[in-house]
Amino acid sequence: MDDIDLDSMSLDELKKLQKNVGKAIDGYEGKQRKAALAAVEAAARENGYSLAELTGMASKKGKAVSPPKYRHPENPEQTWTGRGRQPDWMKDALENGQSKDDFLIK
């Protein structure tokens, strides 16, 4: 690589060079990281394992959805799991003296 005369460069040129060097370093590190990961995954496969099995990391699965526990008596499409904020229909019913047990899904 040619020597760069930094003393003859303007401030804008130096900043641009600095930015480009940072990008080049990040790109190089990213390539090295990918190569290392590929090598580790290949070694795990050769021994009959997945990388996730060896590291104890679970595979990416969606969040489990809780089944509804309570149902609105007049509108069965309105349900509540019993977690998070109470829906307005449940609040209104409790204020009118009803119990949560009256809305349990059996």
State residue 14's pLDDT score.
95
Q: Return the ∠ at Cα 69 (arms to 80 and 99), rounded to 5°.
A: 85
- Residues spanned by the domain of 47: 11-55
State residue 90's pLDDT score.
92
> Does pLDDT of 63 surpass 80?
no
Structure tokens at 72: 């609105």
Backbone angles phi, psi at 48, to 5 degrees: 85, 20
Same domain, 21 and 48: yes
State residue 62's pLDDT score.
64
**Containing H/E element for 52?**
helix 51-55
- With 0.85 as the threshold, say if the pTM is over it: no
Within a domain: residue 45? yes
State residue 16's pLDDT score.
96
Same domain, 16 and 43: yes
Within a domain: residue 41? yes
State residue 80's pLDDT score.
92
State residue 58's pLDDT score.
61
Task: Please check whether residue 104 is in contact with residue 69, taking contact to mean a CB–CB distance below 8 angstroms.
Answer: yes
Same domain, 86 and 51: no
Give the chain's domain count.
2
State residue 7's pLDDT score.
93
